[in-house]
Amino acid sequence: MDYNFTITRTTNPKEKPAPGASLGFGKYFSDHMFMMDYHEGQGWHDGRIIPYQNLSMDPASTSLHYGQMMFEGLKAYRNPQGKINLFRPDMNAKRLNRTNDRMCIPPMDEDLFIEAVKAIVKVDEDWIPTEQGCSLYIRPFILSPEVSFSVLPAKHYWFVIIVGPVGAYYEGNESKLHGSHIWVEEEYIRAALGGTGFAKCGGNYGCGMKAAYEAKKRGCEEVLWLDAKEHKYVEEVGTSNAFFMIGDTVITSSLSGSILPGVTRDSVLQLLRKWGVKVEERRLEIAEVMDAIENGTLREAWATGTACVISPIGVLHYHGTQFPINNEIVGDVSQRLYDTLYGMQIGTREDDMGWIVEI
C-alpha cells in the first residue's frame, strides 16, 4: 500500500559524526523525523517526513503528567550489497499494538508502521554508519499533546520516529563479547502481574532506574529482576530478557504478563529449537539458578535485546557474594547466537529464517 507520506527536506543538514568517532547511544540524531497525527473519528493521518525539530507542546499536555505514552526500538544496517536491512519489523508493529492496547492508545495498521519506518530510514540512509558493530537506531514513539488534567485516555496523539547512528555495544572489539556483573535485585521490583510489564512504556523504565543506579554504585552493570510478589523467580536483566543454560537445557521466563516480549528473545528461542537445543519457557527460581552455580551445572547465562543482541552474564552478585558463571568465559551457545543473529542483521550470513526486510 502507498501511504503518500509528504517529505519536507531540511535546508540546513547537520554535520555527521566523524568516521571513527564514538557514537554512543542516543547522542546523534539524523536530519529528519517522521510524524503523524491521530484524532478521534479521523484515525491516524497526515504521515509526513519533516526536518528534525523540537516538539512544541502545551505544558499541560497529558502525556507529560500521567505518562500515557509508548515507544519501540529497532535497528537498520547497511548490508554488503549496499541495501538496508531491518530485522523483523513486523514484530515491533505487533508489540506496538499490544502496548497501545494496555496504555489506551488507539491501534495502528502494522503495514502503516512498517512503511513509516522504511520511509524515514530511506530519507536519512546516509546516516547509517558502516563501521563494524554500528547501526542506525530507530526510535518510534507515541505521546499526546492534548491539554488535560483528567486521568483519561487522550483523543489526539502524535506518532513520531527519530533515528540516529549508534555505536557498537561492545566498544573496541565487536567480536569480543564479555560477561557483565549483574546484581540480583531483592528489594525493588520492575513490574507486577496485571501491571504494564509486557508493554513498552516509559513508566517501566522510570520505575527501574533506582535499582539500576544502586547496582552501578556497587560495581554491577545491571540488575536481575525477580518477580514482584515473592521475589523468588527470575524475570529479566535490566531492559533485556534473561536466559540460563542449566545442563543441556536453556531456560527463560515464560511471557506471564510481567515480562517484556523481546524480539531478540523470540529469535533466540526459534534458533535454539532449530539447532535441536532443549528450551523451556517457564518460571525459574533464583534458588534453582544458585544451586546450579554451586553444583557446576549452570553452563551459561545471557541477556538479549536489540541494543546488545546477546550480552553474556559473567558474575551474579547475590547476598553479598560474587558467583562467577562459566569462570567468566563467554560460552559457546552465547557466542553462536550472537554470531548468527548479528551476521543475519548485517547481511554477512544467510537469513534462512525469513527475518530480514530489505529496503
Ligand X SMILES: *Cc1c(COP(=O)(O)O)cnc(C)c1O
Nearest CB to ligand X, comparing residues 305 and 331:
305
Using CB under 6 A as the binding rule, whether residue 48 contacts ligand X is answered as no
Nearest CB to ligand X, comparing residues 304 and 334:
304
Minimum Å gap between C-beta 155 and ligand X is 27
State which of residues 62, 63, 196, 306 lies at the interface with ligand X (CB under 6 A): 306
Minimum Å gap between C-beta 264 and ligand X is 3
Binding to ligand X by CB under 6 A, coded x per residue (else -) over 184-213, reads ----------------x-------------
Distances (CA, A) of 127 to 75, 138, 201, 203, 212: 12, 12, 27, 30, 31
In the bound complex, which residue of the shown chain has the CB atom lying closest to ligand X?
262
Helix, strand, coil shares of the chain as percentages rounded to 5?
25, 30, 45
Minimum Å gap between C-beta 265 and ligand X is 6
Minimum Å gap between C-beta 53 and ligand X is 26
CB 289: neighbour CB atoms within 10 A? 24
Q: Is 332 helix (H, G, I), strand (E, B) or coil?
A: helix
Residues 57-86 contacting ligand X, CB under 6 A: 73
Using the Cα atoms of residue 79, residue 342, residue 70 and residue 354 in order, give the sign of their dihedral: positive
Cα–Cα nearest to 176, from 319, 1, 339, 358 = 339
C-alpha cell at 180: 557483565
Residues 222-281 contacting ligand X, CB under 6 A: 236, 239-241, 260, 262-265
Number of residues that bind ligand X (CB under 6 A): 14
Q: How far apart are CA 24 and CA 1, in angstroms?
A: 36
Residue 36 bridge partners (DSSP): 159
What is the contact surface with ligand X in residues (CB under 6 A)?
Answer: 73, 200, 236, 239-241, 260, 262-265, 304-306
